[in-house]
Amino acid sequence: MKYCQTCGAPNDAGVAYCQQCGGLSFGPAAPTKIARPTGVTIIGILQIIGSLIILAIGAFAATFLGPLGLIAIVFAVLPLIFAIGVFTGHNWARILMLIGAVLDILSIVGIVWGVIVLWYFTRPRVVAYFKQPK
């Protein structure tokens, strides 16, 4: 049996492409570890930058507005935790990023970011990266 060298899926059907990710490279054994996709790194960095900006705004607002600033701090720390989980390749972080993307779409403010994250984190290669054994 041959395995896709992109996502590790078995090629049972004997077709020339992977039915999971569309990859064209097959080998006798599944790859030992799938490297983190570049898009995951980019989205993680942008998520961290956005969280740090909201955290700074929340800290500034907390000095003048009190509880309202503390709410902003909470909304900054949670995506920061998700981004760290994304960098380490945990599937729970991918699922929480998908939930956050749906909330971004519903809020209208982050519709573009939400659509990008929702589309990218459901790609077969990205899902395979997060579901591989750690």
pTM above 0.85, yes or no: no
pLDDT digits (tens, 9 = 90+) for 8-19: 777 776 677 777
Helices (H), 1-134: 38-65, 67-88, 91-107, 111-120, 124-131
Report, as ranges of residue numbers, the positions in the chain whose pLDDT lies below 70: 1, 5, 13-14, 22-32, 134
Of 71, 131, 41, 45, give the one whose Cα is nearest residue 95: 131
pLDDT for 50-67, tens place per residue?
Answer: 889 988 888 888 788 777
| Letter string b/e over residues 11-35, b meaning 16 or more CB atoms within 10 A of that residue's CB | beeeeeebebbebeebeeebbeebe
